[in-house]
Structures are given as structure tokens and as C-alpha cells.
Amino acid sequence: MLDDAWSTKPATDLAAAIRAKEIKSRELLELYLARIERLNGGINAVVTIAADRALAEADAADARTARGAELPPLHGLPTTIKDAIETEGIRSTGGAVELRDHVPAADAPAVARLRDAGAIVFGKTNLPRWSGDMQSYNEIFGTTNNPWDHSRIPGGSSGGAAAAVAAGLTSFELGTDIGGSVRLPSHCCGTFALKPTFGVVPQRGYLDSVGGGSTDADINVFGPIARSAADLDLLMSVLAGPEPARAAAWRIELPPPGPPTLAGRRIAVWLDDPVAETDRELLGLLRNAADAVASAGAIVTEVRPPVDPAEQIGLFSKLIGPAISVSLGDHADAVAGSHAAWLRNDRARATLQSTWARWFEDYDALLTPVMPLPAFEHLQDGEPGTRTLTVNGVQRPYIDAVFWTGMFGVLYLPVAVAPIGQTAGGIPVGMQVVAPYLRDRDAIAIAGALGDVTRGYRVPPGC
């Protein structure tokens, strides 16, 4: 069997090693299955495994490699998928008991693209019910723990996904993000992630309710979680594209990134705000990261953009309700509001989008926190609306955890996350790289450079 060190290498390195016949796809898959057997009991990230089918696909991939055939970009890479995303022939529950035995007849388009690019789907990862929390637990599969500290959350809703990537249980992951659901877990677990520009990656096959997946949800995106920014770029080269029904006429060609280094890049930083005060230790780590970016030659400006953050996060709150209302059963109508109200809020969003577009004419990216505090201890008592978090000794509403992610998700902007270091207690933290509309590759490139000048991805102790 392969050495454990292979399990935590970036997907780009793994793909290159398979192409070079340095390792085999089956060996890598067997390594992940063995690590899941050994490590997953304490983390509970992977909740469904389809090993037999995946092993057969890995053998077929190795045979193709041996023949010297042309190989697709993700050839032979074993991967898991967030359980909110439909996977053909593999149980997909959305974390809800209503779909406990749901086995889709077809892949979500994004999953189909991964498979067409050579990836081998061998399992599903945990999440909260209908992806509706910043923690990851549900009645079917229980609680997912942070691989760095099992008493803490891995984030949500793609918490199982980020925990599996961080712990070396998969090559990479595909998650979803409507309020921060690939970004919060990457901050908590120390991985890279991208929330793409809204609409760049198809989100059909998203299980946010019984019968869900046939239409799009406002704000929601599918995005990759990985161990390097290069992995994010590789995955986006596969994932980006129109819905299948539009592919006959539409194309998506994301603009290329700017320079690969930080030198000369115009970087704005916004690290704290009275609306959602940042934990002091986290703020110190964020400032250190901003200083490292400046030392690398970037033109760094600490600036408050010309918006009212309370107004912007308030708009997120107004628009997220209709977007998630299908998940709420009998309470859906009360949360959804009227279509006229949605249209008014959508117009307000358009005004803010124009404000940000003008502001980004002077900056290549904005660096912000992902969450106002590091990963906190499991907090499952009561309802999300009644929970509180302690930040700098002050009780804050639980919803403050999505202040920084919600603000930019509602505007459809691309946002990457890079791990930048650890607290004194050894908990990883990340930083958001917000880029202009459709500048996903810039967000990825700057996140990669940010990871290079800070800590980047590190393997959790014991993994």
C-alpha cells in the first residue's frame, strides 16, 4: 500500500503521479479507504462509501494509463462529494431523514463533469439537515468533528467535505455554498476553497428539499474544496460551464488571472467591523497575513469600502430567506415573503453590485475574515436563532458567524479561502480573497500566493 504521505498531497500532484505511472489509481483509492477505516470513526466526515464500484473504476483507469491512452485532467483521482449533491447510484440524503434511502438515477451536472474528467466518486460527506447550519450534524449520521480538535465544529454546511480533505480521506471535494458553506468549513479545517461567481458552475442536483435539484436557488453555488490553490484552478477548469440545456449555445470562459505573484497587486484589507467584531487573536493572525502580503510586494491598503455593512448583511438576510424557504416545510411561506419584496431587494442588490464594481476598479482583491472567530466548540442546544457565540468576552448572535461570507455571497462575487496559520491552541484559520465579478481565477491565484506567504495547508495532528 502507498505511504500515508500520499493521502495529503494536493490533487494536482496526485494526478501528475498517476499520469507518470508513479502510483496507481487503485493504490490511492485503497489508501483512502484504509484511512477512512482508521480515522473516520473520530471525525465522522465520510458517511456513505461505494467501494466496489469505485475499485472497478480505478482498475479501469489504471488499464487506460497502462495503454498509453489520452488521459483526462482528473484521471484516476478518487473523490468524495457533499451529501447535498446528487450522485448516480450512491445514496444522497441532503442530511434529511426524508431522503434517508434516496439513491439518484443521475449525477448532478457538476458531478458528471468531474466523472467525465476522470474522477472516481467513492463516497459522500456529512452536513447539516438541508445544508442549513454552520455546523455539520443531522439525525441520520450524527456529528462531524474538526480533525484538528474533535471537540470543535468543522464548519458547515460542507463540514464533512472540508474535514475529509483536511484529514487526507479524499483527493478533493465538491461542496455547496449559499451562506458560506465551503468557506466556513475551510476556515475551520485549514483547507483551500472557492465560492465561484454565481452561475458559473451548475447547481442542479442540489438537495435542499424533497424533490429538490431541478431548479436553481438564489445565491447558492457549487464550489471545490482542496489542499492547494492549484487544485482549485484545475477543478474550476472542469466545473465551469453552462447548464447542460444551455450548452448548445452558451460558453463560459473565465478571464485569465493577473500576475502569478503578489508583487504590484493592489490589495485592500478590511479585517474588523463593529457590526461583527473580530476575535482579537484571529485579528492578529489576519494582520500578520496582510503584512506578509505587503512584504511580498503587494500594494496593501486598509480601507472600508463605500458601503454600509449592516445594510449589506441585512440584504443578505432578506434574500436568503426566499432562497432557503423550500427547506422549511410548513414555515416556508412566512420566510419566503412576497415576490414583489424579492424584486425590490434584487434591485437593491443590483445597486450594491454596481457600487462594488466601481470600487474594484482600484483594487485587484479584498482580504477579509471568513468568520469573526476560529472554529468554536460544538453548539447544538436550542435553535440557531437562539444560540450565541462569545467574541472578545461579549455574547454575539449566532448568525454573526456568517457576516463576512453572507455579505459577498449575496452579491454573487467569487471568493477564495486560503489557510493562513493557527491559533495558540492549534486551530487553523483562513482568510477570504474577494475578487471582482467573474474574476474567479484572480481570487484563486491571490489565494495561492497568500497561502505561499503564510502557513498554507498543513496536515492535522494524528492524520
Question: Does 306 share its domain with 239?
Answer: no
Q: What CATH number is attached to the domain comprising 164?
A: 3.90.1300.10
From the candidates 7, 25, 171, 181, which is the catalytic residue? 181
Residue 331: per-residue pLDDT:
76
Residue with cell 493592489: 266
Domain around 18: 4-246
CB distance 434 to 365 below 8 Å: yes
**The residue count for the chain:** 463
Q: State how many domains the chain has.
A: 2
Q: Strand 365-369 relative to strand 266-269: parallel, antiparallel, unpaired?
A: parallel
Nearest 5°: the CA angle 399, 403, 407 is 130
10 Å CB burial of residue 335 (0-12, 13-18, 19+) is: middle
Are 209 and 76 contained in the same domain? Answer: yes
- Told to judge if 228 belongs to the known catalytic residues of this protein, a careful annotator would answer no
Largest Cα–Cα distance in the chain? 63
What is the C-alpha separation between 319 and 404, in angstroms, rounded? 16
DSSP, collapsed to helix, strand or coil, labels residue 418 as strand
The answer on 340 and 210 residing in a single domain is: no
- What pLDDT sits at residue 26? 98
pLDDT at 260: 86
Say whether both 225 and 304 belong to one domain: no
Q: What is the pLDDT of residues 431-444, one digit of tens each?
A: 999 999 999 999 99
Q: Assess whether 100 and 165 both reside in one domain.
A: yes
Return d(Cα 47, Cα 374) in angstroms, integer. Answer: 25
Identify whether residues 212 and 65 lie together within a single domain: yes
Q: Are residues 379 and 425 in the same domain?
A: yes
195 flagged as catalytic: no
List CB contacts of 152: < 8 A, sequence separation 6 or more: 145, 146, 188, 375, 376, 377, 378, 427
From the list 157, 186, 209, 325, the catalytic residue is 157
Check residue 54 and give its pLDDT: 98
Active site residue 327: no
Series of mean pLDDT values for 10-residue runs along the chain (463 residues): 96 98 98 98 98 98 97 98 98 98 98 98 98 98 98 98 99 98 98 98 98 96 98 98 95 94 97 97 98 98 96 97 90 86 97 98 98 98 94 97 98 98 98 98 98 96 97
Instruction: Give the 3-state secondary structure of residue 49.
Output: strand
For residues 117 and 234, membership in a common domain is answered with yes
Count of beta carbons in the 10 Å neighbourhood of residue 246: 12
pLDDT of residue 333: 81
Q: Based on the domain organization, do 241 and 283 belong to the same domain?
A: no
Query: Would you say residue 141 lies in a domain?
Result: yes
Containing 354, the helix (H) or strand (E) segment is helix 339-359
Task: Indicate whether 136 and 222 sit together in one domain.
Answer: yes
Residue 251 lies in a domain: no
